[in-house]
Amino acid sequence: MTDEFDLIATIVDALGDATTSENVVLGPGDDAAVLRLPPAHELVVSTDTLVEGRHYPADASPELVGYRALAVSVSDLAAMGAEPVAAVVSLTAKRLTERWAGAFARGIAEAARAFQTPIVGGNLARGDANICVAVHGSVPQGESLTRAGARAGDDLYVTGQIGGAGLALRSGLLKAQSISDVEPGSAQGRYWLPQPRLAVGQRLRGVASATIDVSDGLASDVEHICDASGVGCDIDLGDVPVFPGSDPTAAVCAGDDYELAFTASRTHAPAIRVIARETDTPIHRIGSLDDAPGARWRQGGKPISLAGGFRHF
Residues that bind its own copies (CB under 8 A): 3-4, 7, 25-26, 29-37, 39, 42-55, 76-77, 79-80, 82, 85-86, 88-90, 92, 120-128, 130, 132, 134-137, 139, 144, 146-148, 211-213, 228, 311-313
* Chain center to CA of 167: 17
Q: Which is nearer to its own copies, 160 or 189 (CB)?
A: 160
Q: Which is nearer to its own copies, 137 or 217 (CB)?
A: 137
* Identity of the amino acid at 182: V
Alpha-carbon gap, residue 72 to 194, rounded angstroms: 7
Backbone angles phi, psi at 180, to 5 degrees: -70, -15
Question: At closest approach, how far in Å is the CB of 228 from its own copies?
Answer: 7
Provide the terminal-to-terminal Cα distance of the chain, rounded to the nearest Å.
32
Question: At closest approach, how far in Å is the CB of 59 from its own copies?
Answer: 17
Question: At closest approach, how far in Å is the CB of 305 from its own copies?
Answer: 19
Q: Which is nearer to its own copies, 154 or 216 (CB)?
A: 216
Question: At closest approach, how far in Å is the CB of 301 from its own copies?
Answer: 31
Q: Which is nearer to its own copies, 188 or 211 (CB)?
A: 211
Question: At closest approach, how far in Å is the CB of 290 from its own copies?
Answer: 23
Backbone angles phi, psi at 181, to 5 degrees: -75, -15
> Residue 258: left (phi > 0), alpha (psi -120 to 50), or beta?
left
Q: Which is nearer to its own copies, 4 or 13 (CB)?
A: 4
- Calculate the alpha carbon distances from 244 to 132, 163, 193 in Å: 32, 9, 17
Alpha-carbon gap, residue 294 to 304, rounded angstroms: 14
